[in-house]
Structures are given as C-alpha cells and as structure tokens.
Amino acid sequence: MIQLTEEISSQENMTAWLSQVENPESSMVRDSVLSLLQPRLVSCDFENRSAEFLFRVQDWQLNPEKGLHGGILVTGFDVSFGLLCHYFAKQHMVSTISINTTFLKPICPTDVIHYRVRITHLGHTVYQLVGEAYLEREDILAATASASFIKLQQTFEEPI
C-alpha cells in the first residue's frame, strides 16, 4: 500500500498511487463504488495536477432507452475528481461541495469513456476542478463538468 505524504509527492508516486484503482483488493476499491465502476488509470500529470481515467459502460448502468444513465456519467466525473483530489489531500478525506455537468452527446452501451480531469485551484481546503468526458470512438466530447471539493480535517485510519 502506498502511503501519501508531502515529502514523496512526485510524478512517479502519483502514477503508482492512482494505479491502485485497478487493484480490486486495494482499500480504496474494496467495498466501494470503485469496485462496481472499475476505473482504469490512463495517465496522470503531477505538475499540471491532472489525470485521465477510463470507464467501460456496463449493462447495469443503462437507462430504459439503453443509453448510459446520466447519474452514472456524473458519478464517473465525481469519482475521477475525487481520486485526483485524494492524491493531493494526502491522508485527508475529501468531499464534493458541488458538481455541475453539461451533457452533450448520448453514450451507447458499447462505449468507453475517458474522463480527463484537472485541478484548476488547489487551495488549503477547497479545490476547484474541471473535466471532460470523451468517448473513445472517434474521440467524441460527450460531457463537461466543473466541481468544488473540500479537504476535511478527518484522516483515513487505514492508509489508502
């Protein structure tokens, strides 16, 4: 398990830490929504405070019209934003303050979604973020989002 401290913040550490989303036994995935969504780290950039995660649409995520349910799309943004915030918050818990999503294109059952997220303001307690959701087929922009997160005083008992 990779512990997060200010002293070891680096591109290498960020990549290793965020890659834990692909391990079903990691404490950040086990017994959480991540185990259902199964995100994959595509890339991250420590200097630009950004990351890209891949999510495959699954049958259980579809609405009655057989497209991706809008709430699942927002959940993908929330998870992607949250993972990025957790890296920079270290062992502190974070919480979503607000998230605003604009839906641009429908998402099909066979789609793969790439969430590209970036922290635009890294305050002492409040983080501002922006993101885009692209469909892997033809690199179609399907949605955009902005969010605010708060770094809480509480820390995780078990390292994540």
Q: In this structure, is residue 32 part of a structural domain? A: yes
Q: In this structure, is residue 160 part of a structural domain? A: no
Range of the domain at 67: 6-155
Q: In this structure, is residue 1 part of a structural domain? A: no
CATH classification of the domain holding 125: 3.10.129.10
- The confidence score (pLDDT) of residue 158 equals 56
Distant-in-sequence, close-in-space partners of 29: CB < 8 Å, separation ≥ 6: 20, 21, 23, 35
Q: In what order do the strands lie in the sheet with 140-155?
A: 40-45, 50-56, 112-122, 126-135, 140-155, 92-103
- Look-up: residue for tokens 């885009």? 132
Domain count for the chain, please give it.
1
- The confidence score (pLDDT) of residue 28 equals 84
- The confidence score (pLDDT) of residue 150 equals 98
CA 129 to chain centroid, in Å, comes to: 11
Q: Is the pTM of this model over 0.85?
A: yes
- The confidence score (pLDDT) of residue 141 equals 98
Give the pLDDT confidence of 56-66 residue by residue, as tens digits.
999 999 999 99
Kindly give the parts of the chain with pLDDT less than 50.
1-2, 5
Give the pLDDT confidence of 109-133 residue by residue, as tens digits.
999 999 999 999 999 999 999 999 9
Q: Which tokens sit at 74?
A: 């927002």
